[in-house]
Amino acid sequence: MSNMHTRQEIATINDAWGELMHTAETTDWRTPADLKASLADEKRECKEMAWAKILVMRAFLHGWDAPDMPAVHIAGIRMGVVRATLLGIDTVTTTRRRHFEAAIPKMRAAVAAHDGACKRERARSVANAANGE
């Protein structure tokens, strides 16, 4: 998988990841290690750091946005994603929520930048296929 992100998109992703990790490191002794383990799991799967960070942040946001989701929604997915989703659930349902609220907009912006890169890459692939490349 080639890197489809622009330098600005990668900077946005790294900024959001840094904000998440900084918040985790200043509020809880366990959360940073769990986030790093999730990142390592996803990096093994997708081989690209920006993708791995997005997968973990997207899963964290999924847990943050839907803390009452049925367990069946996360059954059968990769451990890194499950762990990050559960961290999002744990964080939004505890007193640490207020600490993480500042990181959430940056993570949403990073996910949006990634989604834009995916759409751009998909359009490029379709155009290449139409041109026989």
Q: What is the DSSP string of 31-99?
A: HHHHHHHHHHHHHHHH--HHHHHHHHHHHHHHHHH-TT--GGGTTTS-HHHHHHHHHHHHHHTSTTHHH
105 occurs within a structural domain: yes
Alpha-carbon distance of 76 to 82, in angstroms, equals: 9
Nearest C-alpha neighbor of 67 from the set 95, 90, 45? 90
- Indicate the pLDDT class of residue 81, thresholds 50, 70 and 90: confident
**pLDDT tens, 39-76?**
999 999 888 899 899 999 999 998 889 888 877 777 66
Note the pTM of the prediction, 2 decimals: 0.79
Tell me what pLDDT residue 76 has: 66
| Domain-located, residue 79 | yes
Residue 132 lies in a domain: no
12 is a domain residue: yes
94: containing domain: 7-127
94/81 Cα distance (integer angstroms) = 20
Does position 133 have pLDDT exceeding 80, yes or no?
no
The number of distinct structural domains making up the chain is 1
pLDDT band at residue 88 under the 50/70/90 scheme = confident
Give pLDDT, residue 75. Answer: 65
Residue 1: predicted pLDDT:
44
Q: What integer best gives the mean pLDDT of the chain? A: 86
